[in-house]
Amino acid sequence: PRTYVYMGLWSLIGLGLLYSLLTRDRLELNVLHDRNPQFVTLSDGSIRNGYTVKLLNMIPEPRTLVVTIQGLDGSDTSVVGEDIPAGRSFAIPVEPDRLKMLKVFVRQPAGQIRAPAQTFKFRVEDRASFESNEYTATFNAPEAPR
């Protein structure tokens, strides 16, 4: 009888591990805000923040991922080292089982800035498999003069 109890416990543990392996995310998004400087005021008065965006493709096939920013009025993105036009979203190829690290600048016009710290979302999605992931980030701007 004790052997059957042990066998049952190990079977439950094995099934739990199998379930977690089969249901894990296969697309991951990590975003790190630049520490210094937290923001840059451009010559036209707009504010730019820098982010390191890490896209993790955990399947053995290449895919094209679409990164979008949501919730920051009038903003656009630019990607360092990639020939991608400025806009609210961009598509980027990611190799199989690889991490793609990008330097992304988010710019917001001066007239659209509502607070010194605004939250918005980076959203990544694979339109072929309908997988997606989101990360809530903060856009920093100078405080309004008193």
Per-residue confidence band for 144, with pLDDT thresholds at 50, 70 and 90: confident
Cα distance between residue 55 and residue 98, in whole Å? 8
Give residue-wise pLDDT tens across range 29-47.
999 999 999 999 999 999 9
For a pLDDT cut of 70, what percent of the chain falls above it?
A: 99
Residue 16 has pLDDT above 90, yes or no: yes
Q: Note whether 126 and 63 are within 8 A (CB).
A: yes
**What pLDDT does 126 receive?**
95
> Residue 70: its pLDDT value, please?
96
Percentage with pLDDT > 90 across the chain: 86
Q: Which domains does the chain have, with CATH numbers?
A: 25-140 (2.60.40.10)
Q: Are 66 and 127 in contact (CB under 8 A)?
A: yes
pLDDT reported for residue 2: 93
Q: Rounded to two decimals, what is the model's pTM?
A: 0.83
Residue 94 and residue 71: Cα distance in Å, rounded? 25
pLDDT at 89: 95
The tokens of 116 are what? 């010194």
**Per-residue pLDDT band at 23 (split at 50, 70, 90):** confident
Reply yes or no: is the peptide bond before residue 62 cis, omega within 30 of 0.
no
145 pLDDT exceeds 80? Answer: no
Mean pLDDT of 49-57: 97
Instruction: List, edge to edge, every strand of the sheet that includes 89-94.
Output: 89-94, 63-70, 117-126, 131-140
List, for residues 96-112, the tens digit of each pLDDT value: 999 999 999 999 998 88
Largest CA distance in the chain: 78
